[in-house]
Amino acid sequence: MNDGDRMAEVDPVRLGPQSQFKFKCHPGIECFTQCCRDINIILTPYDIIRLKQRLGLSSEEFLALYTEPQLLEKTGLPVITLKFLKEEDQAGDSKLCPFVRENGCLVYDDRPTTCRYYPLGVASLSHKEDADGDEFYFYVHEPHCLGFKADKLWSVKEWRKDQGVDIHDKINAEWTDLLVRKRSFPPNMQLTEQTKNMFFLVSYNLDKFREFVFESSFLNHYAIEESILKRIKADDIELLKFGLKWLKWLLFKEGDFKRIPAAEAADKQKEE
Ligand code: SF4
Ligand code: SF4
Measured from the Cα of 108, ligand 2's closest atom is: 2
Whether 4 has a pLDDT exceeding 80, the answer reads no
Whether 128 has a pLDDT exceeding 90, the answer reads no
Instruction: List Cβ neighbours of 222 (8 Å cut-off, separation of 6 or more).
Output: 246, 257, 258, 259, 260, 263
| More confident call, 183 vs 98 | 98
For residues 172 and 36, what is the distance between their CA atoms, to the nearest angstrom? 23
Nearest CA to ligand 2 atom 2: 105
* Span from the CA of 190 to the centroid of ligand 1 (angstroms): 40
The ligand placed nearest to the CA atom of residue 1 is 2
Per-residue pLDDT tens over the stretch 29-43? 999 999 999 888 999
Nearest CA to ligand 2 atom 1: 111
Per-residue pLDDT tens over the stretch 164-216? 999 999 999 999 888 877 766 666 667 788 888 999 999 999 999 999 999 99
Measured from the Cα of 30, ligand 1's closest atom is: 6
Instruction: List Cβ neighbours of 56 (8 Å cut-off, separation of 6 or more).
Output: none
Measured from the Cα of 101, ligand 2's closest atom is: 7
The ligand placed nearest to the CA atom of residue 42 is 2
* Span from the CA of 205 to the centroid of ligand 2 (angstroms): 21
Question: Does an H or E element contain 79, and which?
Answer: strand 78-82
Q: How many CA atoms within 13 Å lie on the side-chain side of 47? A: 25
The ligand placed nearest to the CA atom of residue 101 is 2
Nearest CA to ligand 1 atom 8: 35
Question: Does an H or E element contain 64, and which?
Answer: helix 59-66
120-122 vs 104-105, strand pairing mode? unpaired
198-203 contact pairs (CB < 8 A, 24+): 198/247, 198/250, 199/77, 199/78, 199/247, 199/251, 200/78, 201/243, 202/45, 202/240, 202/243, 202/244, 202/246, 202/247, 203/45, 203/79, 203/175, 203/243
Is 13:140 a contact under the CB 8 Å cutoff?
A: no
Per-residue pLDDT at 187 = 63
Per-residue pLDDT at 26 = 92
Whether 53 has a pLDDT exceeding 60, the answer reads yes
* Span from the CA of 117 to the centroid of ligand 2 (angstroms): 12
pTM score, whole prediction: 0.88
